[in-house]
Structure 1
Amino acid sequence: MGIIAWILLGLIAGFIGSRLMGAGGQGLLMDIVLGIVGAIVGGFIFSAVLGVGVTGFNLWSLVVAVIGAMIAIWGYHQITGKRL
């Protein structure tokens, strides 16, 4: 995937993940960063467990990225001490 696709996937995943976590938005830039980190984390976890991680700009990759973004958002809140 190109950098633009990663940014778009990260933005979407960060936005959806923050809404599902009830954390509200962290701001556009932080949502993108947490979404991209989430895509990487989710891709690594899903690759290790299921053998398939982020495969491109598709629905499966979005699901993996959102789950990873939720993990990243949880970790971010644990580190910063903010409540969800």
Structure 2
Amino acid sequence: MGIVAWILIGLFAGLIAKAIMPGKDPGGIIVTMLIGIVGGLLGGWLGKVIFGVDSIDGFFDLSTWIAAIIGSIILLALYRLAIGSRHSHRHA
């Protein structure tokens, strides 16, 4: 599966991750989409490295979507930790 397909999956995975982890994030929809794209790529890479899945087979395979969504959730959580710690230092 090519990079363009992962970008498309990442866009949707970012929206799903945001729905699973609602809350106010700085940056709005643009940042959410970027997190989704990078998270989708991260999920695909992690699936390959950890589980030995060959680039997760296809656009419509459930494993592809699960990997992309998990990658997006991980990235969104890390983003919130980084931004949250930055805001707490600023107000201290």
Superposition TM-score tier, normalisation by shorter sequence: 0.7 to 0.9
The equivalent residue for 2:73 is 70
SS at match of 1:17: helix
- Structure 2 unaligned residues grouped into runs of 5+: 86-92
1:61 aligns with 2:60: no
- State the shift of 1:41 in Å: 1.5
Superposed displacement of residue 73, structure 1: 0.1
Aligned-residue offset at 1:75: 0.5
Q: Tell me, yes or no, if structure 1 residue 81 matches structure 2 residue 71.
A: no
Moved over 6 A (4+): none
TM-score normalised by the chain length of structure 2: 0.72
Count of aligned pairs between the two proteins: 81
19-28 vs 37-46, which moves further: 19-28
The gaps in structure 1 that reach 5 residues or longer are: none
